[in-house]
Amino acid sequence: MSFKTLYEEIVSCRLCPRLVKHRQWAAEHRPRRYSLDTYWARPLPGFGDPRARLLVVGLAPAAHGGNRTGRMFTGDSSGNTLMRSLHRAGFANLDRSERADDGLVLTDAYLTAVVRCPPPQNKPSKTEINNCIKYLKAELRLLQNIKVVVTLGRIAFQTYLSLVRSEGLLKKPLPEFRHGAVYRLEGMLYGRPLPVLIASYHPSRQNTNTGRLTQEMLDWVFLDARRFVG
């Protein structure tokens, strides 16, 4: 499979009726500030450098973020928080992510998500995650230089570990989710050594507004990633 083929397969996906309905509902019931925008309202493929050594795995597009702009982590506060940290660590040329045509370029980094459509209340079901995980597997096969995986949030962390276990790797007890935790996993995934795994809280507004995740805390995650990437 090529990136082009994977892109076409993702954007045409309709496997999850609840998510199809919700992404379209969001496009039809847009906030006033986006009343003139044309919504993407399709599943989102990954975004970034196909030669990346860093893979960032989030939860899902936001209903009025990626689902609106058509690019992963773009058009909402989560994307801007993430991009500031990626920029400071040298993975992005801009410190914000506002529109698909804003000139943002990622170098040595690739952004993706567990689920490709916005779930109601940001809570995908197990079935929806299982439907989507094949796309994450395909990306891991195509991204042949990955040395570090940063998972944003507990669901992304657990889903990535489930993917690794499904390939016959890892035994219990599994690594625990803790912000900033670094795990050097052993084994081979798709013919390559398992990447270093770094866990992070998700840069959601809920986490940043409450102080659970500060910009400095996220900066350190990606400075660690830069150190392992080299």
Backbone angles phi, psi at 109, to 5 degrees: -140, 150
Distance CA 85, CA 183 (A): 20
Q: What interhelical angle do 126-142 and 154-166 show, nearest 10?
A: 70
**Is the CATH number of domain 3-229 3.40.470.10?**
yes
Q: Which residues of the chain have pLDDT under 50?
A: none
Q: What is the pLDDT of residue 1?
A: 82
Q: What is the pLDDT of residue 172?
A: 77
In terms of pTM, does the model score above 0.95? yes
Residues 56-68 have pLDDT tens digits of 999 999 999 999 9
